[in-house]
Every structure is written in C-alpha cells, then in structure tokens.
Amino acid sequence: MSDTLNWRELNMGFASIPAASVAYGEYLRLVMDSQFQMDFIYHVFPNSDGHGDTSWQMWLETEAASYPVGTPEFSCRIGSMIRHRGLLANLSLRENLLLPFLYRMDHAALLRATEEVDSVAEWLGMASTLDERAGERSSYTHALVSLGRCMLAKPAIIIAQEVHIGMSPERLAHFRELAEQALQQLGSGLVYLTATEHEGSGLVFSRTLTIDSEREMLAFRNLEQNDLPDLNDLPDIDGGD
C-alpha cells in the first residue's frame, strides 16, 4: 500500500501548522498545545452535519485516486485515537467498537467488523465485558476501544492523541504493548498529537514538527506594543472655549 496523507499549511491565528505529508507506515509527531490539537482534529474530522470546516486542503493520495478531507472515501481510510472521545455510555462496549461502521453506509464493512469484533475484543482483554453497557469508563478502556476500532477499520493513517494519559503504570505498559502490536500488524501511518516531545508513548518517530504557539503569541503582542504611538509624540489639541 502506498497511501499518503497530505496537507497544505494550516493557519490558526497566532501560529501555523506547516504543510506536510505522512506515508503509510510512517510516524509523524506534531508537538503543539491542546487547543491547536483540537483545531487540527476538527479540520481532519469535519462534523457529519456539514458544519465542519472543509476549506483546509488535506487529502489522501492512493494508487487509485485522491480523496479530499470530508469525503466518505477519506473518512473510511483515516482512523482516530482521540483522548476520551467517542465512547457512548448508553451503548455496550461491543456497540461502541462497531459504532463508526454504522455511519459509513457500507454494509460489507459492517458485516466484516461484526464478524471480527469478538476476536479483537479477546485480544484487547475485553471479551468478558463486551456486552456490558459502557457507562463511565476509565481512560484505559477509552483507549482500548479506540485501538479496537482501528484494528477493525484497518486505516491507512491513524490520527492519535496521548490516550495513555491517566493510566496506571501497569496498564500503561500493557497498552503500549498492545498499541505496538497493532501498529505493526496494521502497518498504518501515524500522526501523533502531543504537547511535549517527552510524551511517553515509546514510539520511534521519523519526524517531529513543533508548533510554538506561545512564542508566536509573544511576538504578536510585542508587535502590537511596538505599533502603539508614543504619547509624547502626540500633537497638542486645544479644545477651545
């Protein structure tokens, strides 16, 4: 597979995410604050109701065609592991694992995922709780469901945040082991969103892009300050009688 995710520069006010590309099997780390991470996610996964911003130029290049962000062909090839996102409390864990397939209008993909969900749950260690209501779950379970969805969807590229935050050391070690196995089996490319280079994922990245929004904000404030006129240079105004 030679799928490659590409994007043009994304201007987000006080800083920009530079143009880049991520190939199948390549790991890219994007270091930026949490607000910029959410902005990036918002642009990659526009709302299904059509209110998302699809003006940003991002596309997936495949051997067959080029698929712009926001299209069904793009969405079904891009996986996500977003922190504490997408686990619905009123559904079972099984239904949560299958949830993305219900929106695809792809019966064959849903059927395949339904056939594979039990084996994926067994591998994740969730087989005994698979048909329980999700309810309130730990960050560990949220992360397992995200990982399970990727195993079922087999995406070309995965957009991931630091889903391991909040896990105990034992669970973190186990989740890292599962994630490494999954990435090796899938072969997917990875865009990893983090606030620091010392993120503790244990992954080896081919490239790291750092977006320093604080420095850009400071530069903007200094520019504003320098643009203010000196009060001593203002002309005297005689209001008269």
* Helices and strands, counts by H and E, the chain: 7, 11
In a domain, 201, yes or no: yes
What's the confidence (pLDDT) of residue 105? 76
Distance between CA 153 and CA 146 in Å, rounded?
Answer: 11
- CB-CB contact of 24 with 157 (8 Å): yes
Domain that holds residue 35: 4-227
- CB-CB contact of 188 with 158 (8 Å): yes
- Residue 38 contacts by C-beta under 8 Å, 6 or more apart in sequence? none
Q: Where are the alpha helices (DSSP H) in the chain?
A: 34-44, 72-75, 93-102, 107-124, 139-153, 169-186, 213-227
In a domain, 232, yes or no: no
Q: Which two tokens stand for residue 102?
A: 């219900």
What's the confidence (pLDDT) of residue 206? 93
Distance between CA 45 and CA 73 in Å, rounded?
Answer: 13
In a domain, 240, yes or no: no
| 224 residue type, one letter | E
The secondary structure of 88-143 as a DSSP string is -TTSBHHHHHHHHHHTTT-HHHHHHHHHHHHHHHHHHT-GGGTTSB--S--HHHHH
- Residue 199 contacts by C-beta under 8 Å, 6 or more apart in sequence? 29, 162, 192
Number of domains in the chain: 1
Closest to 26 (Cα-Cα) out of 52, 51, 56, 1: 1
In a domain, 237, yes or no: no
Q: What is the Rg, in whole angstroms, of the alpha carbon atoms belonging to the chain?
A: 22
- CB-CB contact of 216 with 14 (8 Å): yes
In a domain, 203, yes or no: yes
From edge to edge, which strands make up the β-sheet containing 207-210?
78-81, 157-160, 189-194, 27-31, 207-210
In a domain, 39, yes or no: yes
Q: Which two tokens stand for residue 214?
A: 């604080």
In a domain, 235, yes or no: no
In the block, residue with structure tokens 């490239």: 207
Residue 213 maps to which CATH number? 3.40.50.300
Sign of CA dihedral 95, 110, 154, 31: negative
In a domain, 64, yes or no: yes
Q: Which residues of the chain have pLDDT under 70?
A: 1, 47-55, 213-241
